[in-house]
Copies of this chain bind each other. A is one copy, B any other.
Amino acid sequence: MSHRFITELQEGDTLKQFFLLRRVEQRLTKGGKPYLDVELADRSGAIKGKVWEEALQKCPGPLAPCDFVAVTGSVEPYQGTPQLTLDFIDTVERLKAKGRPLKDFDPDLLISVTPHDRTRMWAELLELVQSHLRAPLRDLVLALLHKYQTQFIEWPGAQSYHHAYAGGLLEHTWSVARHAVHSLAIYPGLNGDLVLAGAILHDLGKIKELTGPPCAQRTVPGELLGHIVLGWEMIREEARVMNFPDEPLLRSLEHIIIAHHGTMEFGSPVIPRTPEALLVYYLDEIDSKLHMAQGHLESDGSEGDFTSYHRVLGRRLYRPPLPADPPENSPSDNS
């Protein structure tokens, strides 16, 4: 039975398939019997569910957030929204260990990912390094991209709010780096190598700050030190290994990483002290804020001229009643 996406489930459906377990809490019924309250997710969205006592007794082991699970059950209405009542739940890992057949299990169906083609973004990023960066920064950037290639392609860009899905780190980096090349055409007086290397490496530390898919969570070093410091160390280490030949250039790059949050109150221990660091800070800011704003405009379900309030942006956004289908020849085509 092929996977049915959560957004397409209807009341009355029965199903037998896989999900990602996002949240799981043990509770008691009014009658004092234990049951589980769970949240299940796939690439399309999330749905709540219950595992009542009988099904719970058949579950052979503990369940934890971020487990892939196999379930059987049915879709039932609950307080006006559909919800799953589960007859069976177990982890993919345990089933695998028991030698159960897991055909149709495809994690890619369960994990939310960037809407962009990761292979293409990765190729474009490398191409951009090759054509616009010069040694020795090119060598440093390539060494780091190759060393962390797997994570760079898989990792989310943030725990929530923007690029919070697999491939988000790559998408954000790809976007900021391409913007950087464009900005350098306007500001030729800047050191392009520094701007571009800074744009590509600024969020490298996210790889250590966050766990990768299926669930982006902050690691202990992420909470205690933050991605700015962690990313800086990754670059320092690689520069030491490759015996980076230009100390002032390296210091300027390190400074971009350390200063890329722009102000101390947003977590940079020093503020940008070079035009290059200023530009990378702004390009990062633009990409994350526009991503949040555009994402909210697309996903917000409210009606009217304005969206619902976005907690991080601190505002409701305007949806102008513009023609749905703009003419072909839009300005961005010609740039």
- CA of A128 to CA of B286, assembled, Å: 23
Q: Are B224 and A31 in contact (CB under 8 A)?
A: no
Q: A185-B182, A264-B265, A332-B185 are in contact. Are A224 and B273 (CB under 8 A)?
A: yes
Q: Which segment, of A1-9, A92-100, A154-162, A187-195, faces chain B?
A: A187-195
Q: Mark A247-267, 1 if CB is under 8 A from B, else 0.
A: 011011011001100001111
Q: Are A318 and B224 in contact (CB under 8 A)?
A: yes
Q: Which segment, of A41-49, A106-114, A143-151, A173-181, faces chain B?
A: A173-181
Minimum CB–CB distance for A239 against chain B, Å: 12
Q: Are B289 and A252 in contact (CB under 8 A)?
A: no
Contact of A186 (CB < 8 Å), options: B182, B268, B315, B331: B182
- CA of A322 to CA of B228, assembled, Å: 25
Q: Which segment, of A13-21, A52-60, A77-85, faces chain B?
A: A77-85
Q: Mark A189-233, 1 if CB is under 8 A from B, else 0.
A: 111110110000000000000000000000011011110110011
Minimum CB–CB distance for A30 against chain B, Å: 5
Q: Which residues of chain B come closer than 8 Å to A193, judged between CB atoms?
A: 330-331
A275 at the interface (CB under 8 A from B): yes
Contact of A254 (CB < 8 Å), options: B224, B282, B326: B224
Interface residues of A in 282-335 (CB under 8 A from B): 282, 285-286, 289-290, 293-294, 297, 305-306, 314-318, 320-322, 326-327, 329-332, 334-335
- CA of A108 to CA of B90, assembled, Å: 49
- CA of A192 to CA of B329, assembled, Å: 11
Q: A77-B32, A255-B225 are in contact. Are A322 and B290 (CB under 8 A)?
A: no
- CA of A241 to CA of B234, assembled, Å: 17
A236 at the interface (CB under 8 A from B): yes
Contact of A269 (CB < 8 Å), options: B134, B186, B269: B269
Which B residue sits closest to A327, measured CB to CB? B134
Which B residue sits closest to A298, measured CB to CB? B189
- CA of A265 to CA of B221, assembled, Å: 21
Q: Are A290 and B278 in contact (CB under 8 A)?
A: yes
Q: Are B80 and A29 in contact (CB under 8 A)?
A: yes
Q: Are A320 and B251 in contact (CB under 8 A)?
A: yes
A183 at the interface (CB under 8 A from B): yes
Contact of A179 (CB < 8 Å), options: B183, B195, B236, B272: B183
- CA of A27 to CA of B228, assembled, Å: 45
Q: Are B332 and A192 in contact (CB under 8 A)?
A: yes
Binding site for B on A (CB under 8 A): 11, 27-32, 77-81, 131-134, 175, 178-179, 181-193, 195-196, 220-221, 223-226, 228-229, 232-233, 236, 248-249, 251-252, 254-255, 258-259, 264-275, 278-279, 282, 285-286, 289-290, 293-294, 297, 305-306, 314-318, 320-322, 326-327, 329-332, 334-335
